[in-house]
Every structure is written in structure tokens, then in C-alpha cells.
Amino acid sequence: MRLKNGVIWAQMHKSMEHAWEVCERVTWEVCDRDAVITSGRDGVHSQTSLHYEGKALDLRTRDLDTDTVTKYAQALRQCLGDDYDIVIESDHIHVEYDPA
């Protein structure tokens, strides 16, 4: 797992430690490379974003084709379960801890 330069990982919620481990494993299984986190508590997001609470991360996908991104997101959903929302964005997959 790698952090893009400037990513703030300090004071992330404990749920993101679990997500980190799962994302790392799934990325290797689906993409055959290290996961790259492009945002943690940093970046510009909506005012209600869980990034600011340390409950969200973004994973780089700009180097992946559409089919791989879809498989990647599906595998993350399956492995992380219902407490996590997985959203495919234009150049990343957004992962947030948001139990119902």
C-alpha cells in the first residue's frame, strides 16, 4: 500500500485500518499491484464528506480499464461488507465506513 504525496492518514478512524488491510489484499488480487491511496483526511470534498471524520479513503484507478475497476469495486464490496460504501468515481474508488 502506498500513500500519494500529501495524503493525511493521521487520526483516521479505526475502521479504516481494517479497510486498509482489505484494500491492500484486494488490490493485489484484482489489479496485481500495490494499492495507492490518493486521499484520506485531506483534499477537497463535500461539507458532509466522511473524509473529514477520517472514515473515508480514495483508491487510485486512473491506470485501470473499466472492467478492472468494476471487478475491483465488486471485490471490495464483498470483502468489506455492508458497513462500508464503495463508490466508483472518474479516477478513483471511494471507500467509506458508514454503517446503517
Q: Which domains does the chain have, with CATH numbers?
A: 2-97 (3.30.1380.10)
pLDDT over 90 for what percent of the chain? 71
Q: Which amino acid is at 77?
A: R
In this prediction, residue 36 carries a pLDDT of 95
pLDDT of residue 1 exceeding 80, the answer is no
In this prediction, residue 45 carries a pLDDT of 82
Q: How far apart, in whole angstroms, are the C-alpha atoms of residue 58 and residue 92?
A: 6
Q: Are 2 and 51 in contact (CB under 8 A)?
A: no
Q: What is the pLDDT of residues 20-63, one digit of tens each?
A: 999 999 999 999 999 999 998 877 788 888 988 899 999 999 99
List 87's β-bridge partners, or say none: 94
In this prediction, residue 52 carries a pLDDT of 86
pLDDT of residue 8 exceeding 80, the answer is no
pTM listed for this prediction: 0.91
